[in-house]
Structure 1
Amino acid sequence: MKKTLTVLAVIIVVGLIAVGTWRWVNDEGVIPGQEPGEPGGPAATGPAQPDWCPAVEVIAAPGTWESSPTDDPINPSFNPNSFMLTVTRPLQDRYPADRVKVWTLPYTAQFRNINADQEMTYDESRSEGTSSLENELRVTHRDCPLTDFIMTGFSQGAVIVGDIASEIGNGHGAVPAERVRGVALVADGRREPGVGQAVGNPVSGVGAEISLELLNPAVQLVTPGATMRGPRDSGFGALDDRTFQICAPDDHICDAPLGVGNAVERAQGLIENNGVHARYATNPNVFPGSTTSRWLVGWASDLIDRAPDPGQAPASGVVTSVPPVP
């Protein structure tokens, strides 16, 4: 009898160890010691992809005064001169919607200032846009766990996309890092030299939010509710080699000087219709012999063309190479 009880006790202990090990490995689908975003993580071994899901979703975030929260994200029309339309429309023409979903962020893209006191503040607008974009990522990833993302943004939209890419790349974003094929930021107000991959003609300055961080009191006099937050503390993490920074020389939104200088004058520059900032679709001084729009379309197309069929290859095929200037 004593021998039998001993055997039963051993069986129970072994069983508890097995259950504990199973829970240890399967708790929230993550193996301890495995960092978020590593190949083989939860996103790479998720459920089968529904047939209606696109292989890739391209997300575009327009700049200030180029979007509205009521705009159609598939066929935006709020501002027909929006820079992002020079990228999204060619992609929609090139790829069928059942393979590539092109989604443009609808948000209140405004920037309250002394000349437009009735508008939403930059902080509020940026927060709204961030929330809407993250929700789109979460919903798509929930319904289509093997769909990859390409994200791009211009000006205020670049700040939003860059902030979200930083969160994802550092393991606490809306989707796993391995689901992001690439990020392109045009005129990013938080651009920091050496963070991400610089393409196009070199610039020597920094993003306006870095340049003006120590001058926030003066900035508030001209643009109340526009907090200059400085650089992104953790960079782009795992997405650093997939995040491309594009900045036109002398665009004071992304190529601003360091140092104090004339704080009010520089804050005023944030709201002026700077000719360089408004000409990325045609400016030949960013990509010699080409334009930013053409580079972005070629870059995104290269990533899309190399994307695996989710029904055949569950793991994301990450591409980090830079396409030649078309």
Structure 2
Amino acid sequence: MKKILTVLLALIVVGFIGFGVLTWLGGRDTVDTPPPDAQPTGPVQPDWCPDVEVIAAPGTWESSAVDDPVNPTANPNALLLNVTRPLQDQYPADKVKVWTLPYTAQFKNAGSMDEMSYDDSRNEGITRLDEELKKTHGDCPLTDFIMIGFSQGAIIVGDTANQIGTGIGAVDAERVRGVALVADGRREAGVGQSVGTPVPGVGAEISLKPLNAAVQLVMPGATMRGPRPGGFGALDDRTVEICAPGDHICAAPIDVTDALERARNLIDHNGVHAQYAGNMAVFGTETTPEWLVRWTNNLINQAPAEPAAPPAGTDPAAGSGTVTSVPPIPQG
């Protein structure tokens, strides 16, 4: 009888040990194996989102606060229409979204005191651009951006790039493929990548900052703020500056003594500033809009840029910065 009890006790002990081993093995499998309905981590990009959004900021008197950002008509002669329309013709909207900044784009001065001041117009543009960046990024977190600005629009885009590049912008710098500033009034030698014919001088806001009080006599509410603190930060190598020789908006003298005359020149918008659509002196073999279309295509297709010489007959010593061009648009 004792033997039978001993055997039964042994079987019970072995059973408990076996049950414990099986429970441990089962628990280990539960920890190591994720549940079948586990969700992927990271941002999710809806199928309808574009790969890239191209944002264009027109210059003074080339936009309107109520303009259609997809089909702008405020000024049929706006420079950047020569860039945005070819891109819209080339790409479907679900691959590349082309959006033109609608803002007041005015410049109060002694000859048109009823217009919005430069400061207010610029701030309105920056606010609306930030809103668009935030909206697209909120809906489509993996969509990248390409930003292009002309004149007052270059100020707006450049200031936005400054904020993004220094870490306080609406989106992270990694979401921006490139920035192009045409006739930037805050252009500074050695900040960003100079392309095309080298030019001397600096942007008018830098040139006229020491004489800002005198500027107000001609352009009330047009603050000359000087250089952008921090430059373009993380976007410096992705930001190109384009300035035509003789354009005093982006190539003003560094030491200005006659503030009133220089301020009047800003209002007049000299012939060079108004001729980027056809001026061959910037790139030699193509116009600025043609160059911008190729540059944007290369960024959309992630083609690298390559260095090139300035147009024939130019003097590289006339300005500073790196002169670069872009390769032909990839085929196929």
What TM-score range do you get, normalising by the shorter chain?
Answer: 0.7 to 0.9
1:69 partner SS:
coil
Shift of 1:325: 7.5
For 2:66, the equivalent position in structure 1 comes to 70
Q: Distance in 2 between matches of 1:277 and 1:132?
A: 25
Q: 1:270 aligns with which of 258, 266, 270?
A: 266
For 1:192, the equivalent position in structure 2 comes to 188
**Alignment check: 8 A CA contact 2:305 2:327 kept:** no
Q: Indicate yes or no: 2:100 matched with 1:131.
A: no
1:266 partner SS:
helix
For 2:225, the equivalent position in structure 1 comes to 229
**Alignment check: 8 A CA contact 1:284 1:291 kept:** yes
**Alignment check: 8 A CA contact 1:241 1:320 kept:** no
For 2:256, the equivalent position in structure 1 comes to 260
Structure with bigger gyration radius: 2
For 1:182, the equivalent position in structure 2 comes to 178
1:135 partner SS:
helix
Q: 1:298 aligns with which of 294, 318, 321?
A: 294
Q: Distance in 2 between matches of 1:107 and 1:207?
A: 22
Q: Distance in 2 between matches of 1:325 and 1:110?
A: 37
Shift of 1:320: 6.2
**Alignment check: 8 A CA contact 1:282 1:291 kept:** yes
Q: Distance in 1 between matches of 2:205 and 2:305?
A: 27
**Alignment check: 8 A CA contact 2:109 2:218 kept:** yes
Shift of 1:260: 2.7
Amino acid paired to 1:154: F
For 1:111, the equivalent position in structure 2 comes to 107
Shift of 1:243: 0.1
Matched residue count: 271
For 1:248, the equivalent position in structure 2 comes to 244
1:48 partner SS:
coil
**Alignment check: 8 A CA contact 1:290 1:325 kept:** no
RMSD: 1.3
Seen in structure 2, the aligned counterparts of structure 1 residues 320 and 232 have a Cα distance that, compared at 3 Å, is farther
**Alignment check: 8 A CA contact 1:46 1:145 kept:** no
**Alignment check: 8 A CA contact 2:187 2:203 kept:** yes
**Alignment check: 8 A CA contact 1:242 1:320 kept:** no
For 1:168, the equivalent position in structure 2 comes to 164
Amino acid paired to 2:288: T
**Alignment check: 8 A CA contact 1:84 1:154 kept:** yes
Seen in structure 2, the aligned counterparts of structure 1 residues 46 and 66 have a Cα distance that, compared at 3 Å, is farther
Give runs of aligned pairs for residues 299-318 of structure 1, distance below 5 A: 299-306=295-302
Cα displacement string for residues 121-170 of structure 1 (whole angstroms, at most 9, x for unaligned residues): 00000000000000000000000000000000000000000000011011
Q: Which runs of 5+ in 1 are unaligned?
A: 1-44, 308-318
Amino acid paired to 2:165: G
For 1:149, the equivalent position in structure 2 comes to 145
For 2:315, the equivalent position in structure 1 comes to none
Amino acid paired to 1:323: V
For 2:30, the equivalent position in structure 1 comes to none
Cα displacement string for residues 208-246 of structure 1 (whole angstroms, at most 9, x for unaligned residues): 000000001110000000000000010001100000000
